[in-house]
């Protein structure tokens, strides 16, 4: 299974924020959309990622003033990305090795979507369930051995 297949099932809805918005604006979007990350877009291109990890770090460092901080000062600049042809096993290893819960998927300069570790886990479970059903059907339909003994 490839990343493009996960995106096809998940859909390609992107939640974004501009770098000049405040962290309070970003948190409001994340809470309203029930997402753990936002893609930071400036002039039509991805310039960063904001996840709940960066939000928590900003909260810890800025205290009560966290809401007024600019997204541009908190976001991860030029985040690592996956390609649409990446195999799911490679994707899982990559996300685990780099401690990433959210990974943008780029096809050249085009952002195709964001894959979460939850999306990967769901895709793997569905793929394993499908393979399990196919194996059971294959075994059930196996021809009986002729002649016995």
Average pLDDT by stretches of 10, the chain with 149 residues: 86 90 97 95 93 94 94 95 93 92 92 90 72 70 62
Contact predicate 6/120, CB 8 Å: yes
Contact predicate 3/84, CB 8 Å: yes
pLDDT value of residue 148: 52
Is residue 108 domain-resident? yes
CA angle, 50 as apex, 90 and 56 as ends, to 5°?
A: 110
For the residues of 36-90, what is the DSSP string, one character each?
SEEEEEETTEEEEEEEHHHHHHHHHHHGGGGGGSBGGGTSEES---B-TT-BHHH
Look at the block and give the residue holding tokens 């604006």. Answer: 25
pLDDT value of residue 142: 75
Is residue 146 domain-resident? no
- Quote the DSSP letter at residue 26: H
Contact predicate 63/23, CB 8 Å: no
Is residue 145 domain-resident? no
Its pTM stands at: 0.78
CA angle, 83 as apex, 38 and 105 as ends, to 5°?
A: 10
Q: Are strands 76-77 and 16-17 parallel, antiparallel or unpaired?
A: unpaired
> How many domains does the structure of the chain reveal?
1
Is residue 148 domain-resident? no
pLDDT value of residue 62: 93
Contact predicate 57/64, CB 8 Å: no
pLDDT value of residue 8: 85
Is residue 11 domain-resident? yes
pLDDT value of residue 98: 93
Is residue 57 domain-resident? yes
Is residue 98 domain-resident? yes
Task: Write out the residue range of the structural domain in which residue 101 sits.
Answer: 3-140
Domain with residue 119: its CATH number is: 3.10.580.10
pLDDT value of residue 144: 65
Is residue 85 domain-resident? yes
């Amino acid at each position: 299974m490839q990343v493009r297949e996960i995106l096809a099932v998940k859909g390609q809805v992107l939640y974004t924020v501009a770098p000049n918005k405040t962290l309070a604006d970003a948190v409001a979007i994340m809470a309203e959309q029930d997402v753990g990350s936002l893609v930071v877009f400036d002039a039509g291109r991805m310039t960063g990622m904001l996840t709940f990890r960066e939000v928590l770090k900003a909260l810890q460092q800025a205290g009560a003033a966290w809401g007024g901080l600019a997204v541009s000062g908190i976001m991860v600049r030029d985040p690592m990305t996956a390609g649409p042809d990446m195999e799911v096993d490679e994707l899982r290893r990559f996300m685990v090795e780099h401690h990433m819960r959210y990974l943008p998927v780029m096809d050249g300069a085009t952002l195709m979507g964001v894959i979460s570790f939850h999306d990967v886990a769901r895709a793997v479970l569905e793929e394993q369930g499908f393979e399990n059903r196919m194996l059971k059907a294959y075994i059930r339909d196996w021809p009986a051995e002729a002649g016995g003994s």
